[in-house]
Amino acid sequence: MKSVKKTEKTIKLFSFFAGAGFLDLGFEKTGFTIDFMNEISEPFKDAYCFAREKMNIQAPRYGYFTCDIKNFLERSKYQVNLEHYLSRALSDGAITGFIGGPPCPDFSIAGKNLGKEGVNGILALSYVDLICVMKPDFFLFENVKGLYQTIEHRKYFDELKQKLKNAGYCTSERLTNALEFGVPQDRDRILLFGILKDKINSTKYDSGDELVDFLWNKYASFQLDTVKNQKWPECNDFGQISKFTLPDEYKKLTIQYWFDQNDVEDHPNANFFFQPRSGLSKFQSIQEGDVSKKSYKRLHRWKYSPTAAYGNNEVHLHPYKERRLSVAEALAIQSLPKEFQLPPEMSLSDMFKTIGNGVPYLMANGVAETIKNYVQENIR
């Protein structure tokens, strides 16, 4: 008997804490539709719009909302509008999902470590509360590894997860590294996925409402242990000609591969970088590949980057030029398509902040593929 192919449903996303839209772009390129975008920072929202115009990507159906996420939890026009948009998506027969990564300095090991009491820590609860109230079919929650690995913050993470389960969601989480998806960056993030329990078969979750078959690394390109155990180059003096032979598959994880891939020298954001306030002597004294200190890390052209964090006085230097990284180079390290660019009128501080806050594009894309397949196959 000839099998009948299951018709795919449209999946409509509601994006929160969208920044310049790296996470959204990963989902969009996988076939998701962004119906709604929320970002409190006006410059980041403008960057989101600018990049998509340049890439000819359709604007969200319901536009852009530059407000605090807590406004959607209060009886206000914001909440009424969001409820209406969700209702319209459901009446269209679409599957609905929330995606977002609340700002994370309060959980970051390198940040102020204020945890759930901090201003940003409270936003994580607001996002979870919004999911519990609005009940999208599924959600994705992204944050720094400190929320998952630090003992005190982990308690808060478990409380948030239990709140979601009490609201009717089954969940799965994973500490995921960007290297696994082909991003030239050693960046760990905790990812939490949830789907409404009454939308899936009971064989898909256990007695603790944990999903039993959600394959986080289904679309991963590399095994993390294999990557870390690869023979990578040692440090060499700045300005020295650096030659290093790597297997072809690992070249795709190197800084130089992505600089070439994105043609960073001719990128519209090529000449956007911070100029030193004093002489270049410090820039010249740091070896290529020396990333041992918190600041003034010099990347190695034939290796991947440490986490692309450009705040808290962290300075990342070009492998073989006497300067800091350019915006074009930082975008490449986040594995964004070469067509992606930030508006020239945006301040340098905002450019590097939104880049450092963003979810690496290829990681977002791989996770989006997994979520898309799982949702299409399992939601009844």
CATH number at residue 62: 3.40.50.150
Using CA atoms in the order 139, 128, 34, 217, what is the torsion angle rounded to 10 degrees?
-40
| Residue 260 in domain | no
CA distances 250 to 179, 187, 244, Å, are: 10, 17, 12
User: How do residues 254-277 score in pLDDT, each as one tens digit?
Assistant: 999 999 999 999 999 999 999 877
Strands 138-144 and 188-196 come out as antiparallel
Number of domains making up the chain: 1
Confidence of residue 152 (pLDDT cuts 50, 70, 90): confident
How many angstroms separate the CA atoms of 284 and 7, rounded?
59
Q: Residue 112 is part of which domain span?
A: 11-222+360-378
User: How do residues 209-256 score in pLDDT, each as one tens digit?
Assistant: 999 999 999 999 999 999 999 999 989 999 887 777 888 899 999 999
- Of 110 and 372, more confident: 372
| Residue 236 in domain | no
Residues classed as catalytic: 104
| Residue 314 in domain | no
For residue 95, the tally of other CB atoms under 10 A from its CB is 22
| Residue 189 in domain | yes
Strand-pairing partners, residue 297, are 316
**For range 73-98, the mean pLDDT:** 92
